[in-house]
Amino acid sequence: MSEIKVVPRLSQDRGHANHEWLKTFHTFSFASYQDSTHEKYGSLRVINEDRVAAGTGFGTHSHKEFEIFSYVVDGELQHNDSMKNVEVLKRGDIQLTSAGTGISHSEKAHGNKPVHFLQIWSLPSVPRLQPKYFTRHFSDEEKKDTWVRVVAPVDAEGVQKDLREGNRQGEGPAPVQSPLTMYATLLSQGTSLSQAMKGTKRICACCDEERV
């Protein structure tokens, strides 16, 4: 059995852009940041850490052939899309858009405060999927000092994937059309966790330091 090779990548080594209304860090090549050594990782194509100023955000734009999800760290995120989904996402919320054959959406800071969130894109295992939208909520209490599965493949155990039309919410991890499982935790100072990764070929761990 081969040993896991750990390759650390510090926050300051990521791509960065400051657009005044948006301060963003890119783990992989994105927009003006291009790095041939960090194009993707497995099915992961984008991990952007975005801080959007109050009253601003990403206007309506289009996507296709990506699984796109936003994980809210702090603040509130207003989501509108061409599937007629309108939602305000708060801390602990995650929304997953399976763009498939194509969708348009906008994401903006809601209210009079900025929003801090992660936007992650993965490549779908199946092309030309029908677009779908899901949301999930995971409280701080659920995640404190334990791993919580927040995203998992559609065929994984415990994943709700066939919700009724118009019922975008559900229990358990959000279903993704990629070989990708995402866990989240909020660790107390001095606490450590372990996690079995049977059959896993790649692991990507992102740490967001936060003052509590």
Domain ranges of the chain: 11-184
Does pLDDT of 51 surpass 70? Answer: yes
- Note the pLDDT tens digit of each residue in 84-122: 999 999 999 999 999 999 999 999 999 999 999 999 999
Is 61 a known ligand-binding residue? yes
Q: Residue 25 above 70 pLDDT?
A: yes
pLDDT at residue number 2:
62
Average pLDDT, the chain: 93
Is a pLDDT exceeding 50 seen at residue 48? Answer: yes
The pLDDT, as a whole number, for residue 211 is 46
- Mean pLDDT in residue range 61-76: 98
Instruction: Give the pLDDT confidence of 176-191 residue by residue, as tens digits.
Output: 999 999 999 999 999 9
Q: Is residue 201 very low, low, confident or very high in pLDDT (cuts 50, 70, 90)? A: confident
pLDDT value, residue 209: 67
Q: Is 63 annotated as a binding residue?
A: yes
Is the model's pLDDT at 1 over the cut of 70? Answer: no
pLDDT at position 87, please?
96
Confidence (pLDDT) at 200: 76
27-45 average pLDDT score: 97
pLDDT band of residue 168 (cuts 50, 70, 90) is confident
CA distance readout (Å), 65 to 33, 38, 186, 199: 21, 20, 31, 26
CATH top-level class for 11-184?
mainly beta
pLDDT higher than 80, residue 212: no
